[in-house]
Chains A and B, each alone.
Chain A
Amino acid sequence: QSVLTQPPSASGTPGQRVTISCSGSSSNIGSNTVNWYQQLPGTAPKLLIYRNNQRPSGVPDRFSGSKSGTSASLAISGLQSEDEADYYCAAWDDRLNGWVFGGGTKLTVL
């Protein structure tokens, strides 16, 4: 059971916009920033979004992040086949004094 809650799966067709939610509590998302990671099949995770809505250089602007209260969201617009991957949210948890992850969302491009 992960501390942050994500839907296990999401899907969309090429060109569509999909969103992935990440729900937490006052001790994690409610008081700290959220980062998102993309894990392509068989590879190590890669930073996708940091500090709620910042994109590292090289990440397409099709990817965007937002946070409100104790929840965060990752949006992917103009969906492409290469976006098929697992997506994880993460935040520092003040009560646990450690980093916590969501369970991951498997995105399928139909």
Chain B
Amino acid sequence: HVQLVQSGAEVKKPGASVKVSCKASGYTFTDFYMHWVRQAPGQGLEWMGWINPYSGVTLYSQRFQGRVAMTRDTSISTVYMELTRLRSDDTAVYYCARGGSGTYDWFDPWGQGTLVTVSS
């Protein structure tokens, strides 16, 4: 079955960077877009961007432009999301979520989430 398994929780200081991984299994990795969505404590969902695992092409939310980078390693069916210049309000659970074969499709399934805590 389709499964997304993310890396473990991280604690970072303000100004640092974090890189979260998401390993996919149960389907052809390069056939589906991968999205990243975050959720601050007690808050709603916020889309960060997507990566096309086949081409490596990315699209980022304007909110994160210049601070986020999404990459992939097709040899191990894994996508990465790196967020730089971390601030305290970047404290959130970060989810990867599989999209469809097109950019306008739904997100299904989701990874289990990775808590990133930014604190001095």
Contact = CB atoms under 8 A, between A and B. Distances in A.
Contacts of B35: 99
Nearest to A34: B106
B47 interface: yes
B46 A56 contact: no
A102 B44 CA distance: 8
A101 interface: yes
Interface residues of A, number: 24
A47 B37 CA distance: 14
Q: Which of A47, A88, A103 has the most CB of B within 10 A?
A: A47
Interface of B: 35, 37, 44-47, 49, 59, 61-62, 95, 97, 103-113
Interface of A: 2, 32-33, 35, 37, 44-47, 50-51, 56, 88, 90, 92, 96-104
